[in-house]
Chains A and B, each alone.
Chain A
Amino acid sequence: MNQKISIAALLLIAVTLAVGTRLIFTMEVPVYSDDGSKITGFAVQSFEVYEDINETQELQDLSRIPNPFRK
């Protein structure tokens, strides 16, 4: 069972590397005091994301649908 999961995970990584594009996103996250009792501010954190090209194209197609709220 574990072997099957490992093979599936390897395959997934391989496919992602083959078709994916490496993107870096930045996001603000809350920062806590040393004792963890308070939120003291926000910090920018970077994330590396592999985005699927096909999914991006799909999103672009969706964005062409007119927004019903826009007059």
Chain B
Amino acid sequence: MAKSEVQPIYRCETEVRKPSIFLSHEPGLETLIAVENSDHWGFDPSLKKDPRSPELWLEDGIREHKEMVSVLRGKGIEILYLRSLLEGKKHEIKRYILNEFYRIRNKLAPLDRSVKKAIDASVTAMMDSLVSGVLLGLESGRRFREMKYSKKREVYCLLETLMPQTSIYFTQDPVISTPNGLVKAQMAMPIRRQEPDIMQIALGKKNYIHELGSTTEGGDITMCSSLSYAAGGDVRYVGGTMLFGVSAQSGKGIEEEIMRILKKSGVNRLFVFYMPNISDSSLSYAGGNVMHLDTIMMPIADGVLLANVNMLKKSRVSEGIGGKLVNGYHWARKNFERVISVPDREQQGTYGWGSNVLPLGNMEVLSSTHLRYTNKNLREAGFDVIAINAATLTSGFGSFHCMTAYLMWMQQQNLYSRALKRQK
């Protein structure tokens, strides 16, 4: 087989130019358990006071998701569905479920006989319906599904696998798109640990160039363009600049991991962004959620950053590893022509995630209608804001940027199409 045939086709030089392909997942029954038990599954604790039943929450969430997809398709962007990709990978899913089951068999010893039987029945149900099975986990079996939540929680905490994929509709997090191909993320929260495996099955190993050895999620890494100028003062932006968010949860070895990614991913320039929760642990999100770079700032066009100023001021940034650490706000002012503000009240929480808009290129962004002040600031800065309701889905702690994984941009797709034609 020629070398070019096995090279990754999914890549990302910059997320601020017109995208061509996004990966998305319409939330399904696997999310219900998180809506009912938001504390344990990293959803907004305020959901406990939500008057809607979990089924109604899901109905509203699916409506919001369909509207998002409809807007993106209307812009000529192709949407790949995680579920459809998995349909073509049944053999791999079967192998994965069996591997996971055999891996945790020894852990089952302390459990009651009835619980063990329920787990066996669930695994059988997963094997009968592979795609739904891998998404629903042990909730696939009726006996396990109808068990008391405290018992189920005990099992999930013990096994840390075969879990319902409650947050996988945030497709941005388990996979990282870089200029040379995809990188498999490693999730910080145990309840999300399977997501990168499932995503890799769906997207195919051949599209991956690296697997992370330390906890870094897709929301921590953003590709954008950086300022460059040629002789004569011509200002231009070049892609391939990686903004790498390091949070309090990133343990020792993160610097070596960054160097490994840098070597493999074809990045031109790197900024390491030390998140505000390092200096102030009270800023960490509720429900054990991990603070992501794309929830405090996002480059949304060449030279334009959308960010919460207070969060920037509480962050530190260095160019490369071991570079001088500078205040995040000073860094933003120096490296971007404009910083558009996300007000404190719209930074995080039920009515937040203002920085987590989705850049669509050509000064256009997809945002949620509940972000009144952020949207106003964006419009005043000359951006075309497409605002649709996402107030249900954002209670899972993230907005449109988290709900889409960037797989390809227009210019790159043109190159890819030309290469395909040449091969034919």
Interface residues of A (CB under 8 A from B): 27-30, 32, 36-42, 68-69
Chain B residue at smallest Cβ distance from A30: B274
- Interface stretch (choices B2-10, B71-79, B197-205, B249-257): B249-257
Q: Give Cα A28–Cα B272 distance, bound, in whole angstroms.
A: 13
B70 located at the interface, meaning its Cβ lies under 8 Å from any Cβ of chain A in the complex:
no
* Contact indicator B316/A28 (Cβ below 8 Å): yes
20 further contact pairs, Cβ within 8 A, besides A30-B274, A38-B249, A69-B229: A27-B322, A28-B325, A29-B322, A30-B246, A32-B252, A36-B252, A36-B253, A37-B252, A38-B251, A39-B246, A39-B248, A39-B251, A40-B248, A41-B279, A42-B274, A42-B278, A42-B279, A42-B316, A68-B235, A69-B235
Given A28-B316, A30-B274, A68-B229: A42 touches B249 (CB 8 Å cut-off): no
Determine if B421 is an interface residue (Cβ-Cβ < 8 Å). Answer: no
Chief secondary structure at chain B's binding surface: loop
A27/B325 in contact, CB under 8 A:
yes
Nearest neighbor of B229 in chain A, beta-carbon distance: A68
Residues of B208-260 at the interface with A, using a CB-CB cut-off of 8 Å, are: 227, 229, 233, 235, 246-254
Asked if B324 CB lies within 8 Å of chain A CBs, one says: yes
Q: A32 CA to B251 CA in the complex, in Å? A: 7
Closest CB in chain B relative to A20 CB, distance in Å = 21
Q: How far is the CB of B278 from chain A (nearest CB, A)?
A: 5
Chain B hits for A40, CB < 8 A: 248, 278
> Are A68 and B274 closer than 8 Å at their CB atoms?
no
Q: Which residues of B contact A38 (CB under 8 A)?
A: 248-251
Q: Complex formed: what's the CA distance from A5 to B247 in Å?
A: 42
Chain A nearest Cβ from B66, distance in angstroms: 40
**Contacts of A41 on B, CB cut-off 8 Å?**
278-279
Rounded to whole Å, the gap between the CB of B2 and the closest CB of chain A is 41
Some 28 contacts from A to B, beta carbons below 8 A apart, are A27-B325, A28-B324, A28-B325, A29-B322, A29-B325, A30-B246, A30-B274, A32-B251, A32-B252, A37-B251, A38-B251, A39-B246, A39-B247, A39-B248, A39-B250, A39-B251, A39-B254, A39-B274, A40-B278, A41-B278, A41-B279, A42-B278, A42-B316, A42-B325, A68-B229, A68-B233, A68-B235, A69-B235
